Structure 1
Amino acid sequence: MKKDIKIIGSGFSALSAACYLAKKGHRVTVYEKNDSIGGRARQLKRDGFTFDMGPSWYWMPDVFERFFGDFDKKTSDYYQLIKLSPAYRVYYGINDFIAIADNLPEIITTFEAIEKGSGKILQEFMNEAKSNYDIAIKDLVYRPGVSPLELITLETAKKVNQFFSNISRDIRKKFKNIRLIQILEFPVLFLGAKPSDTPSFYSFMNFADFGLGTWHPKTGMYDVVLAMEKLAKELGVTFHVNANIEKIFVENKKAVALVVNGETLKADVILSGADYHHTETLLDQEHRAYSEKYWESRVFAPSSLLFYVGFDKKIENISHHALFFDVDFNQHAIDIYDKPKWPNEPLFYANFPSITDETAAPKGMETGFFLIPLAPGIEDSEELREAYFEKIIDRFEKLTQQKVKNNIIFKQSFCKNDFVSEYNSYKGNAYGMANTLLQTAFLRPKLKSKKVENLYFTGQLTVPGPGVPPALISGKLVAELIEKNI
């Protein structure tokens, strides 16, 4: 039976679910509180500069192909991909960096040059990482997190020890050079937890990095949002922006309507791709499946301080993606996870999309995006933001040996308070709930409400977890669950 399905939010998981549900013939309407779709993957345009406001790394291209393939389409039907070479640089000192090539053989050569014998060890590590990737991304993550039995297969039984060790311990057993260790620990930060709290099995992220490479949609990550919107509209999905959801009505323990900008709209099924905690606050207390105590006890991925910066000249000695690891990696992690505070010496990430995409900035100019990971729930003020921009831009100038401060046309910041106001994000987190051992698969918040019929959830606080590819998968999983239950 075809249903009237209303979706809250228009991030990647909501767009994915909308496409799958519309394909089944349901009447699907998407409501977005902001003035453009995409959720955290919105776009900022200013003075001829274009910024992706959120996700900027395109990893796991096979997951995107699988999504569009489910609709007999290809990514190339909607957008063009460019493989970045180098994939990224990691800076340790003044013009002292390691460039990560766009292919594994060259990366192995780089490792061997830094630590004798590490090339062969890396190849063995990557063979295991690929095996884990094949098990996880081609199978396990496409399970709905309903039962612990989903994790028990012949393949995972052989790797059970990897669920009780951690990435950091494994890497440090194999490699001695701290730079190589940090490069190998970096990919799991996308999962929202410290490497020492991330199960070894998640080494599949290293295969996503070194094995599959880093890509860039021709004019930015928003290309993917527009592609999914176009596909959704081709399938009959209707979109409404500036549509704030004020309440979810429940009758006889069934979700029956949304209040959107003061108007009550009936629905057969309600699906939220918005923040899970926030969505439950739209319900009366007795209908909420998770208490405030529950949310307080969870390990959340970091928040971020972001800067969108327009430069009036081209930036030198830099790559499209750059990581700045010239300060204490472990101390910054402690400042995020163990003793939450603003870090004295923050690691940071910089992204210059105009190196790859000439439309991202006016001719002869550069688009810059800077990110500092921070503890969620932290104090946020304009004074702190400004102080930290000065910290990182001073280091950026020193490490890349150039002056850029006087070439800034404008800068716009985005931090914890904005994540709360723009996305209703719990504690202003940027990436959802961390994928620690006790927050994996069936141990994450459920796709289907435990208290209210016809109410479902999707996105980075439920399965499979943080990241753009997992968001696409989450939309597929919840659509299948809805289809099964109606």
Structure 2
Amino acid sequence: MNATIKIIGSGFSSLAAAAYLACEGNDVTVYEKNDTLGGRARQLKKDGFTFDMGPTWYWMPDVFERFFEDFGKKPRDYYQLKKLSPAYSVYFGKEDYITIADNLEDIYRVFEENEPGSSTELKNFISEAKSNYDIAIKDLVYRPGLSPLELVTPQTIAKLGQFFGNISKDIRKKFKNKRLVQILEFPVLFLGAKPSDTPSFYSFMNYADFGLGTWYPKNGMYSVVEGMVELAKEQGVKFVTNASVSKIGVSETGCAEYITVNGEKLYADIILSGADYHHTETLLDKRFRQYNEDYWQKKVFAPSSLLFYVGFDKPVENVEHHTLFFDSDFDTHAIDIYDNPKWPDEPLFYASFSGKTDTDAMPVGKEAGTFLIPLAPGIEDTPELREKYFEKIITRLENLTQQSLRDSILFKESFCVNDFVKDYNSYKGNAYGLANTLMQTAFLRPGLKSKKVKNLFFTGQLTVPGPGVPPALISGKLVAGLIEKQLDKEPKKSLTKHYEINI
């Protein structure tokens, strides 16, 4: 049967799910509480400057290609991609930095220069990481998290030990140079947990980094949102912005029946939420919620962030498009996020200067800078704290890159814990969802399908497969497949092979 499907939220997972479901002939409408589509992947435009407010890294290009191929399309049909060269740079102190190239041979050379013998270790490490990537990203993450048996394959059995070790210990066994260790531990931070709490198997993120490279879509990550919206509209999806959902109504028979949008009841056969999972369940009467507050309190959440969007009246020198500042203690900052949540004394931070690649990001002769400090979710957020930490990072930026910048600031906008709560209904103001620790992997994450309410489904970074933009696309595909299965409808021939979900 063709169904009327209402989707809450317009982030990457919702956009993906909407496109798949509409392609199957369903009547799909997406409701977004904010005035622009894309969820957290919004844009800020000010005085001729353009900033990605959310994701700025384009990794795992093969996942995007697979998504568009499902519709007989390619990413280039909707946006232009450029591989960054170099991929990024990491500062460890004044005149002390390592630049990561766009190819493995140059990366091996840099490692060897910093630690003799390390290039051989890195080749072996990346070979194993590629093997894990082929298992994880080409297979395991496309399973819907309904059973622990999904994780049992000949390939995963052969790597069983990697699910119980941790990536930090593995890296430190092979590499002694502290700077190289930090560079290798950096990619798993995208998974939302400390390297010491991240299973060894997740080394596939290192292959995503070094092996596949870092890319940039012209006009920023928002162009990916625009491309996915265009694709979804081509399938027949309808979009409504400024649409605040205040309730999910459940019938006497226990079926999701309607959503209340701006005070109006809108009925549907299927309701899918790509909004914050915890928030979505608060839209239900208590008896219909799967997870209580104790459940959420015990979960390990990925960090929140303090973000600054800064317009400079001159170019910023001695930085790359993506620049990491690891001149303070990596482990201490991690403790301040996960073990003893508080504002870090000397935080690590990240900066994006998209104008190094895309001159349309700012007026000629200016610079657009986005700065991010990872923080513990749920901590205090005040204007005074934001200003204090901006002073910390701008001072360090000036010192490390040896230039004066403070007097060149035209404006700065900030976004932090309170804004994540207000704009995205984010639990504790987290920025990246639920961390991918061993006990929060696959079937151990909140489910794509409600166990208490029929016809109610979830997608996004708090459910399967996890945080990040590529996993969000996969999450949308997985939930669309489950919905189609429930509707007892054979997929169209053109998409049949793409809806093979192992249950």
Q: Provide the TM-score with structure 2 as the length reference.
A: 0.96
Three-state SS of the structure 1 residue aligned to 2:346 is: coil
Partner of 2:255: 254
Partner of 1:432: 433
Please list, as runs of the form range in 1=range in 2, the aligned pairs for 1:212-231 lying within 5 A after superposition.
Answer: 212-231=212-231
Partner of 2:116: 116
Partner of 2:483: 482
Partner of 2:7: 7
Partner of 1:264: 265
Equivalents in 2 of 1:96, 1:77: separation in Å?
41
Could you list the per-position Cα deviations for residues 346-375 of structure 1 after superposition, in whole angstroms to 9, with x for gaps in the alignment?
A: 000000001101110001101000000000
Partner of 2:125: 125
Equivalents in 1 of 2:364, 2:346: separation in Å?
34
Equivalents in 2 of 1:37, 1:79: separation in Å?
17
Equivalents in 1 of 2:419, 2:8: separation in Å?
19
Alpha-carbon distance, 1:285 to partner: 0.3
Matched, 1:421 2:422: yes
Matched, 1:31 2:47: no
Alpha-carbon distance, 1:219 to partner: 1.0
Alpha-carbon distance, 1:218 to partner: 1.1
Equivalents in 1 of 2:395, 2:282: separation in Å?
42
Alpha-carbon distance, 1:383 to partner: 0.2
Equivalents in 1 of 2:274, 2:30: separation in Å?
10
Partner of 2:499: none
Q: Give the aligned residue type for 1:154.
A: P
Could you list the per-position Cα deviations for residues 155-200 of structure 1 after superposition, in whole angstroms to 9, with x for gaps in the alignment?
A: 0000000000000000001000000000000000000000000000
Equivalents in 2 of 1:88, 1:270: separation in Å?
41
Q: Give the aligned residue type for 1:358.
A: T
Aligned Cα root-mean-square deviation (Å): 0.4
Q: Give the aligned residue type for 2:305.
A: S
Equivalents in 1 of 2:338, 2:402: separation in Å?
32
Equivalents in 1 of 2:269, 2:411: separation in Å?
47
Partner of 1:319: 320
Equivalents in 1 of 2:223, 2:386: separation in Å?
29
Equivalents in 1 of 2:95, 2:323: separation in Å?
12
Equivalents in 1 of 2:254, 2:105: separation in Å?
57
Q: Give the aligned residue type for 2:266.
A: L
Partner of 1:286: 287
Partner of 1:135: 135
Equivalents in 1 of 2:404, 2:10: separation in Å?
40
Partner of 2:164: 164
Could you list the per-position Cα deviations for residues 375-396 of structure 1 after superposition, in whole angstroms to 9, with x for gaps in the alignment?
A: 0000000000000000000000
Please list, as runs of the form range in 1=range in 2, the aligned pairs for 1:297-376 lying within 5 A after superposition.
Answer: 297-376=298-377
Could you list the per-position Cα deviations for residues 112-165 of structure 1 after superposition, in whole angstroms to 9, with x for gaps in the alignment?
A: 000000001000000000000000000000000000000000000000000000
Equivalents in 1 of 2:137, 2:449: separation in Å?
22
Partner of 2:456: 455
Equivalents in 2 of 1:232, 1:59: separation in Å?
22
Partner of 1:173: 173
Please list, as runs of the form range in 1=range in 2, the aligned pairs for 1:381-420 lying within 5 A after superposition.
Answer: 381-420=382-421
Equivalents in 1 of 2:240, 2:405: separation in Å?
41
Partner of 1:22: 22
Could you list the per-position Cα deviations for residues 320-343 of structure 1 after superposition, in whole angstroms to 9, with x for gaps in the alignment?
A: 000000000000000000000000
Could you list the per-position Cα deviations for residues 78-112 of structure 1 after superposition, in whole angstroms to 9, with x for gaps in the alignment?
A: 11101101100000111211000000110000000
Please list, as runs of the form range in 1=range in 2, the aligned pairs for 1:131-210 lying within 5 A after superposition.
Answer: 131-210=131-210
Three-state SS of the structure 2 residue aligned to 1:40 is: coil
Q: Give the aligned residue type for 1:236.
A: G
Q: Give the aligned residue type for 2:214.
A: T
Equivalents in 2 of 1:450, 1:196: separation in Å?
33
Q: Provide the TM-score with structure 1 as the length reference.
A: 1.00
Question: Unaligned stretches of 5+ in structure 2?
Answer: 488-503
Equivalents in 1 of 2:152, 2:291: separation in Å?
27
Three-state SS of the structure 1 residue aligned to 2:258 is: strand
Matched, 1:74 2:71: no
Q: Give the aligned residue type for 2:235.
A: L
Equivalents in 2 of 1:196, 1:411: separation in Å?
35
Equivalents in 1 of 2:430, 2:480: separation in Å?
25
Equivalents in 2 of 1:431, 1:466: separation in Å?
6
Count residues in correspondence: 486
Q: Give the aligned residue type for 1:229.
A: V
Could you list the per-position Cα deviations for residues 4-63 of structure 1 after superposition, in whole angstroms to 9, with x for gaps in the alignment?
A: 000000000000000000010000000000000000001110110000000000000000
Alpha-carbon distance, 1:467 to partner: 0.2
Equivalents in 2 of 1:49, 1:18: separation in Å?
31
Question: Unaligned stretches of 5+ in structure 1?
Answer: none
Equivalents in 2 of 1:406, 1:8: separation in Å?
43
Equivalents in 2 of 1:121, 1:87: separation in Å?
21
Q: Give the aligned residue type for 1:53.
A: M
Equivalents in 2 of 1:264, 1:477: separation in Å?
28
Equivalents in 2 of 1:408, 1:460: separation in Å?
34
Three-state SS of the structure 2 residue aligned to 1:51 is: strand
Three-state SS of the structure 2 residue aligned to 1:36 is: coil
Three-state SS of the structure 1 residue aligned to 2:40 is: helix
Please list, as runs of the form range in 1=range in 2, the aligned pairs for 1:29-68 lying within 5 A after superposition.
Answer: 29-68=29-68
Three-state SS of the structure 1 residue aligned to 2:448 is: coil
Equivalents in 1 of 2:367, 2:227: separation in Å?
26
Q: In percent, how many aligned pairs have the same letter?
A: 73
Equivalents in 2 of 1:271, 1:406: separation in Å?
48
Equivalents in 2 of 1:150, 1:122: separation in Å?
30
Off by >6 Å, runs of 4+ in structure 1: none
Alpha-carbon distance, 1:478 to partner: 0.1
Q: Give the aligned residue type for 2:205.
A: M
Equivalents in 1 of 2:294, 2:358: separation in Å?
46
Q: Give the aligned residue type for 1:116.
A: P
Equivalents in 1 of 2:407, 2:237: separation in Å?
47
Three-state SS of the structure 2 residue aligned to 1:67 is: helix
Partner of 1:442: 443
Matched, 1:275 2:276: yes
Equivalents in 2 of 1:144, 1:43: separation in Å?
31
